[in-house]
Structure 1
Amino acid sequence: MTRNAEKSDAEWRAELTPEQYHVCREKGTEPAFTGQYHDLKSPGLYRCSCCGDPLFSSEEKFDSGSGWPSFWEPVDSGVVETEEDRSHGMHRTEVHCKSCGAHLGHVFPDGPRPTGLRYCINSVSLAFEPSDH
C-alpha cells in the first residue's frame, strides 16, 4: 500500500506528541471520555492529526455515549481504510487514514441512519478545523 505521507518512525516521533504517537502509530486507544472532541458540538471539519487530510465532518457526528467522537460516515468513502482487528480478544474493524496509515479507531455496525455505522474515533487522531456555518 502506497502512502502519501510516508515518514520514518523517527520523523513521526519528532512530529507527534507521545499520546498521538502511541494511538496513531502504535494502534493505542485514549481512555473514554478524556479526548478533547468527544463532546464537541461546534461545526467544522475533523482532519487527520498526522497528515492533515480531511476525514470527518461535524455534520455526520453524533453522540453515541461511548466516550469517543462518533461519526456515521467519513467526508468521502476513499479517505479511510479498514482492516480486521482481533487484538485484545475481540473481533473489530480498525479504521485508519488512507493517506498516512494513522490508526484512528474502529467502526461498528450499531450507528444511526442513514449508514447504520459508528466510526468510533480517538480525539488524539483528529485535528478540528472550525467552520463559520
Structure 2
Amino acid sequence: MEEGFAQERRKPRVGTVSGLALMTGATAMTAVAGGHHSVFATILLALLALGMAHAFTVEIQRQAHRRAGRWGRHDVVNTVLLAGWAVGALTVAALPYPSGPVRIMGLLLTFSYTAACVYFVAERRRAIVAPASSATSSVSESSPV
C-alpha cells in the first residue's frame, strides 16, 4: 500500500472510533470547563486530550485501511457517528448559556470531528481503490504486449 500504510487485518469496529472521539472531546471540554482546576490539572487534562487525539487518529487509520474491499455497514456507522459528534459539538457552541471557553472548545471540536469524518472517508476510499488499481496494474504489467 502507498505511503507506508499496511492493510489492517482486524475486523471492522464501530465503538473504538466513536468512543475515542467522545473521550477526547469530553477530556478537552473538562480541561477548559472546570473553573476550579489548578493549572497543573488543566495542563494534565490538555495533555491527556492530546494523547487521546493521537490514539483517535491512529484508530481512524486502522479502521480505514482494513482489508475489506468495499464500503461496508461499519464504515457508514463510523461516518454517521463522527458527523453526529460534530453536530453535537456545534450545538454546544451555539447554545446561549455556556461560557466563552466552552463555546470556543465546542467550535474546535466541531472542526476536529468534521476533519476526522472527512479524513476517515478519504482514507477508506483510498484503501478500497488501492488494491483494485494495484491488481489492474499488475495484470497489465504481466501481460505481453
TM-score interval (norm. to shorter): under 0.3
Q: TM-score, normalised by structure 1?
A: 0.26
Q: TM-score, normalised by structure 2?
A: 0.25
Larger radius of gyration: 2
From the two aligned structures, give the one with the greater strand fraction: 1
